[in-house]
Structure 1
Amino acid sequence: MKTHFRPAYLIVGILAIFLIGFLFSCSDDPTDTGGDDGSLISTGDIDPLGEQDFLLSTVDLGHDVRGRLEIWVFDLTIESDSAVSFDIAIANKTDRDIYPPIHFVITKIIPNSITVLNADGFTPDQFPFFDFSDDIGDDGILAAGETTDRVKVRFGWPEPMAFGIGFRLHIGQAPIEGVIGGVVFRDRNQDGQYQPEQEDGLEGVPIELRTTSGDPSRTRLVRTDREGRYALEGLPAGVYKVTLPLLPGMQLTTPREILVTLIVLPDGRVSNFLEAHFGAIPYT
């Protein structure tokens, strides 16, 4: 269960050093410094004979984000001479909501005789990761002030020893709201229906958007990309007229104007409409 303490794809690099043995001394709280590549580096000492629950590190998401993500360790346990485990939870102490995917990626283990035993998967560059995406509650958002459920990580070792890991966090982008978009497609069968498997898009076609009130401050013009797609983002709730201007050398198979209504959803976000498609037959 999430707890309340009260942005594509974001990657934050971190280094955490785990010092595990039979005799340890406690260290100060971890602090982070900037790496040469812009990543954040942090250290945290683990004493299996001392505290089992503690703050491992904090992660700064950028100059424009107040607060930090906190990486917590719980229930540090030496299971046997061949394995050690602990739970990890991520507390969102920033002023921003965090969206999935949320992956805790282990990038380095020293010494290399230590292995990850229970990774959820592997990144394209073959690093093991633990997935927190389903551990952020039913709303699918790690909101400001919330903490993920705990995820258990297990390591195998040839014998109890000190070891270190490097890890990074992969965090998803916030969803875009208030979007009107679609495709200007080559309507090969001239039926006015977009069939993406059979009909390609037309590049460079202008699309104009206006409010029905004619407010000139909300008039916008975009052109389709290589796949014939276009999108107008960040629109407030309202009624809009999307128009494909009359172009020489092109016959439309759909109406040249589409009325789209964007509303405010129960969660406060503005709805999207991504099926404002236009069919056309270019003259050859």
Structure 2
Amino acid sequence: MANTIAALLEGTRLNKTDAKVLLAHLLNKHLGWPRSALISRDQEPLPDELLIAWKSLEAQRISGVPVAYLTGVKAFHGIELKVNETVLIPRPETELLVDLALEEIQRIHSDYPNQTIQILDLGTGSGAIALAVAHECSISKAPINLGILGVDQASDAIELACENAKALGLNHLVEFLLSNWYDAIPDRYQTAFDVIVSNPPYIQKDDPHLQEGDLRFEPKAALTDDGDGLSCIREIVNHAHHYLKPGGLIAIEHSYDQAAEVATLLENHSFHDIGAIADLAGHLRVTRARK
């Protein structure tokens, strides 16, 4: 029969990883079953409403819709985030920004344990970077005084980021603000941030990857600047000095082939200690520097 977990997994055109994620999502949603039911209850008949939902998700995934948009959630650096078509799907390479921010927080905290450390996340989207940083600090054995501001120009993104903060119990540590980069950031934050992190739109407008895979379904404005891929990074670097403390850290994600250009931008704006960090594939994906 084709109404059991085993039969659905055997008969689907999807790869087994995607199929199991989608089916586990439906089992939990419709029946309250845990993921382990994929094995422990794989011969039990499933209700019609779940089978109908499965066929819908299966067809959408076959057409290319990202799994994260179909389930509405994505794991990122130890937390689970709500995601939808208004925001980018958080990716492993962006976790480099979280790790850099956490290293800097620990460095400052060890020297100045009572200082409130201020972080700015530009283009926050679902709130992934800001909330991952906040989560790690919230479970630290040593209490850390922390303030994080995440900004985005998309009101839908800010709404979703706020939902994620509330769901994770982190809204006391993170504030989200509707702003086109620095435009709406209050004056009190000038030279206030210890760290600025950003995963801005950096894909060139004619890059063929925009027409491939998950990128076809993600918000274009969060992927590309409709130019050379560097205009948003220029905007971030041009004004960073006004918001970073002396010695403050800036870290920006970029394309695998933009590291040299980003480093030059930072150098031209009097940043120092400039360096690029590779992702797991060996591509230089994040450039960091100090004011």
Q: TM-score range with shorter-chain normalisation?
A: under 0.3
Structure richer in helix, relative to its length: 2
Structure richer in strand, relative to its length: 1
TM-score of the two chains, using structure 1 as the length reference:
0.24
Bigger RCO of structures 1 and 2 (CA < 8 A, at least 6 apart): 1
Larger radius of gyration: 1
TM-score of the two chains, using structure 2 as the length reference:
0.23
